[in-house]
Amino acid sequence: MKEIKAYIRQHRIADVLQALRDSGICDPATCDRATSERGCHLTVSQVQRPLAGADPSQQHYSMELAEPVVAEYKLELVCVADAVGALVEVIAKAAHTGRPEAGWIYVSEVQRAVEIR
């Protein structure tokens, strides 16, 4: 199994989730109900990335970090290894903004997955 982590600008996350849904590979609405054999588990959380060079209209000052930041979403998706290439392509295409520093996608190996019941 593999884990895909993608850091996506906040104005693109809805398009990414829709693109995943439309791809037929991983539907965010039902992926946690998929069997562990298929292995499609997805979470999305809001994060802040220090990025001083970003478009000023997209950044704000974080009092907690004492830095200018850009609000983003972190998408974490665990899937079977065979689906990684297609999922990365779907995410990259839907998250594309045409600007530098628009986000990142990372892929790593999952050593073990244990379902909590």
pLDDT of residue 34: 46
pLDDT computed for residue 35 by the predictor: 43
Non-local (6+) Cβ contacts of 67 within 8 A are 50, 52, 61
Residues 1-37: pLDDT tens digits?
999 999 999 889 999 999 999 998 887 666 655 444 5
Domain 38-109 belongs in CATH node 3.30.70.120? yes
- Joined together, the tokens standing for residue 95 give 């998250």
Where do the domains of the chain lie?
Answer: 38-109
Q: Give mean pLDDT, residues 35-53.
A: 75
State the chain's mean pLDDT as an integer: 85
